[in-house]
């Protein structure tokens, strides 16, 4: 069977991005169901930066026949560390995640000094809020994408959103386009689900309940179809559905804040 490598963040990490207590959702993840069609190695880690993914890509790109590379948000903190007890990779992907860490004494089990933990989380939070330079982060993002494309021109590059990416990536269909198509299936959100600003607002107003890879099972299925077709055609240029119908009301899949 043809081998496939997947690189990215929580938009393709089915192992750690499921809702607690909803492990059956793992089977509906597009990056899990694609294993029926390819021999898959999934290098994605929730919350990871493009730098982290690119480093693993540089070490492994030649081992796969086909590659799907999901480009994460611009400007994520590039530091990551592995918990020696569980093997899980930890990172802090936003100022909000830093604050969650500050409120949780067990956020990194293998660091015993709680004061040190707080210092790390506070420093990274303040970097997100005050020290990060967006223009620099966008330049680095563009250079890393060029590096990926130079090593594997045949890789399917799929951005999670358009913000901060170079023009060639901004022109591509995004993972969030499919999530918005899902929101358009419900009357209460149909007229708002049009662009990135709408996605940010909807994400805040409707926290995830029964989702995996940030997608409902129905959106995962539609996204999987697009990925499979694109792998056959050798180019990521799918037609996003106007809407993706769901058999259940929005409250089944999302909380209301």
What are the counts of helices (DSSP H) followed by strands (DSSP E) for the chain? 11, 6
CA–CA distance, 24 with 188 (Å, rounded to integer): 27
Closest C-alpha among 81, 77, 70 to residue 49: 77
Residue 162 lies in a domain: yes
CA–CA distance, 72 with 159 (Å, rounded to integer): 6
Within this chain, do residues 99 and 167 fall inside the same structural domain, yes or no? no
Within this chain, do residues 56 and 115 fall inside the same structural domain, yes or no? no
Q: 147: helix, coil or strand? A: helix
Cβ atoms < 10 Å from Cβ of 190:
12
Q: What is the dihedral of CA 35, 59, 237, 231, to 10 degrees?
A: -40
Q: State how many domains the chain has.
A: 2
The average confidence (pLDDT) of the chain is 90
- Tell me the per-residue pLDDT of 37-81, one tens digit each, with 9 for 90 and over: 999 999 999 889 999 999 999 999 999 999 999 999 999 999 877
Q: Is residue 97 predicted with pLDDT exceeding 90?
A: no
pLDDT of 79: 85
Of 28 and 106, which is predicted with more confidence? 28
Residue with tokens 């100022």: 95
Within this chain, do residues 49 and 138 fall inside the same structural domain, yes or no? yes
Q: Is residue 192 predicted with pLDDT exceeding 90?
A: no
pLDDT of 17: 58
CATH number at residue 22: 3.40.50
- Tell me the per-residue pLDDT of 149-188, one tens digit each, with 9 for 90 and over: 999 999 999 999 999 999 999 999 999 999 999 999 999 9
Quote the crossing angle between the two packed helices 114-126 and 95-102, to the nearest 10°: 160
Q: Is residue 107 predicted with pLDDT exceeding 70?
A: no
Within this chain, do residues 139 and 123 fall inside the same structural domain, yes or no? no
């Amino acid at each position: 069977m043809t081998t496939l490598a997947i690189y990215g963040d929580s938009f393709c990490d089915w192992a750690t991005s499921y809702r607690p207590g909803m492990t059956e959702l793992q089977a509906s993840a597009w990056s899990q169901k694609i294993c029926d069609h390819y021999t898959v190695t999934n290098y994605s880690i929730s919350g990871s930066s493009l730098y982290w993914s690119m480093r693993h890509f540089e070490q492994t790109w030649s081992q796969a026949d086909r590659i799907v590379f999901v480009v994460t948000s611009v400007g994520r903190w590039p530091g990551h560390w592995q918990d020696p007890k569980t093997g899980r990779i930890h990172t802090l992907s936003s100022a909000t995640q830093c604050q969650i860490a500050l409120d949780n004494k067990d956020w990194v089990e293998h660091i015993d000094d709680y004061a040190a933990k707080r210092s790390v989380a506070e420093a990274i939070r303040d970097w997100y809020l005050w020290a990060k330079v967006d223009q620099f982060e966008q330049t680095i993002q563009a250079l890393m994408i060029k590096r990926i494309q130079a090593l594997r021109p045949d890789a399917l590059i799929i951005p999670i959103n358009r913000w901060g990416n170079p023009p060639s990536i901004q022109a591509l269909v995004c993972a969030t386009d499919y999530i918005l198509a899902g929101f358009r299936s419900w009357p209460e959100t149909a007229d708002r689900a049009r662009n990135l600003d709408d996605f940010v607002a909807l994400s805040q107003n409707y926290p995830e309940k029964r989702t995996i890879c940030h997608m409902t099972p129905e959106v995962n299925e539609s996204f999987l179809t697009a990925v499979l077709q694109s792998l056959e055609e050798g180019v990521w240029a799918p037609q996003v559905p106007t809407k993706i119908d769901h058999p259940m009301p929005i409250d089944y899949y999302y909380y209301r804040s």
